[in-house]
């Protein structure tokens, strides 16, 4: 038995790479496991482990602080510790840590069929905001997508563009700056040639090392082809497909699925006020 009251959060150390490799496969995302170098670069400063002093971790959490919102990117409880209140205790510990960071809200993604986890998150005040689809899209499908009649310009996003992007796509303040600070990330926007500072036509973050695109946002599904063509040169030419996460856009997800994309995960995005 695991006593939740005896557990506490601690920050990851360089030696904790093994625990990341232990917990991530339990999420069953199908994503490749990160290298040790990637752990040090992308995970170590964000990863927390939940354990009793001098004991092996029973859970992990990866949380990003974005202005007043805590985005719980990863949360996993070891199978042997489930059903003992560890998940609730971990959420409480995350909430307290986020409150100390001046956050008032939190959010996360969860598989729509993970009913046990959804009940837990609803218990701590989160509610469904929208659905997302994690897709695997063959590059060949790009050529079959409809072309937009609207002229667009694709360009890299700079720091001065961040406020406009965040307003246009309802992104938390500071999220683009956080992505830009990660090595190997590319931020691409679609704009009207007559208004090159208005990126309401499309926006994507491409991560060639993953390889994937998240988020992938367009104002109209017919602009998906233009955005895919803009990010494709950033990826290894030998790759035949790319991961794409479509958020809160059922029409876009349906279009990509109809043109050969495969759905890896159907996710619910939950949000709420931090209760503690």
Superfamily of domain 4-103: Gcn5-related N-acetyltransferase (GNAT) (3.40.630.30)
Pairwise CA distance, residues 161 & 189, whole Å: 10
Residue entry with tokens 């479509």? 246
Q: Is the pLDDT of residue 242 over 80?
A: yes
Tens of pLDDT, residue by residue over 109-128, are 999 999 999 999 999 999 99
For the chain, where are the E strands, in sequence order?
8-11, 47-51, 59-66, 69-77, 105-111, 127-138, 153-156, 186-191, 202-207, 212-218, 241-247, 262-273
DSSP helix, strand, coil percent of the chain (3-state; round to 5): 35, 30, 30
pLDDT exceeds cutoff 90 at 100: yes
pLDDT for 83 beyond 90: yes
C-alpha angle with apex 105: 101 to 110, nearest 5 degrees? 115
Instruction: List pLDDT tens digits, range 147-198.
Output: 999 899 999 999 999 988 888 888 888 889 888 888 889 999 999 998 887 8
Residue with tokens 């209140």: 85
Please, what is the Cα angle at 74 between 72 and 79, to 5 degrees?
130
Mean pLDDT of 228-242: 95
CB neighbour class for 127 (10 Å; exposed up to 12, middle 13-18, buried from 19): exposed
Instruction: Please report, for residues 216, 218, 249, the alpha-carbon distance to residue 170 in angstroms, rounded to integers and kept in the order given.
Output: 13, 13, 14
Q: What is the DSSP letter of 148?
A: P
Quote the CA–CA distance of 55 and 43 in Å, as a whole number. Answer: 21
Provide the residue ranges of all domains of the chain, joining segments of one domain with +: 4-103, 133-270
Predicted local distance difference test score (pLDDT) of residue 211 = 87
- pLDDT confidence of 199, banded at 50, 70, 90? confident
Report whether pLDDT(209) > 90. no
Give yes or no on whether 4-103 and 133-270 have one common fold: yes
Helix (H, G, I), strand (E, B) or coil at 36: helix
Cβ neighbourhood burial of 149 (10 Å; 0-12, 13-18, 19+): exposed
In the block, residue with structure tokens 């002229």: 151
| Dist. CA 203–CA 189, nearest whole Å | 4
Domain 133-270: which CATH class?
alpha beta
pLDDT, position 210: 80
At 107 the three-state DSSP class reads: strand
Q: Is the pLDDT of residue 249 over 90?
A: yes
Please report which confidence band the pLDDT of residue 49 belongs to, taking 50, 70 and 90 as the band edges. Answer: confident
pTM, full prediction: 0.89
């Amino acid at each position: 038995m695991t006593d939740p009251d005896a557990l506490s959060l601690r920050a990851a150390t360089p030696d904790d790479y093994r625990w990341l490799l232990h917990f991530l496969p339990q999420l069953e995302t199908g994503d490749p496991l990160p290298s040790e170098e990637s752990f040090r670069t992308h995970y170590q400063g964000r990863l927390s482990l939940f354990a009793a002093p001098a004991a092996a971790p029973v859970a992990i959490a990866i949380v990003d602080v974005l202005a007043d919102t805590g985005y719980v990117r990863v949360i996993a409880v070891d199978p042997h510790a489930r059903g003992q209140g560890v998940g609730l205790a971990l959420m409480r510990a995350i909430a307290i840590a986020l409150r100390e960071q001046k956050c008032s809200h939190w959010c996360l993604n969860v598989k729509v069929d993970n009913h046990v986890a959804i009940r837990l998150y609803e218990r701590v005040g989160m509610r469904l905001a929208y659905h997302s689809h994690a897709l695997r899209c063959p590059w060949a499908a790009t050529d079959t997508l409809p072309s937009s009649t609207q002229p667009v310009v694709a360009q890299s996003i700079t720091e001065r563009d961040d406020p406009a992007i965040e307003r246009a796509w309802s992104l938390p303040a500071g999220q683009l700056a956080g992505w830009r600070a990660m090595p190997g990330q590319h931020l691409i926007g679609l704009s009207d040639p007559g208004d090159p500072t208005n990126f309401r036509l499309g926006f994507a973050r491409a991560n060639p090392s993953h390889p994937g695109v998240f988020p992938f946002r367009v104002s109209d599904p017919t602009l998906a082809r233009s955005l895919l063509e803009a990010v494709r040169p950033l990826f290894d030419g030998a790759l035949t497909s790319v991961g794409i996460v479509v958020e809160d856009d059922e029409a876009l997800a349906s279009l990509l699925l109809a043109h050969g994309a495969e759905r890896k995960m159907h996710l619910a995005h939950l949000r709420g006020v931090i209760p503690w």
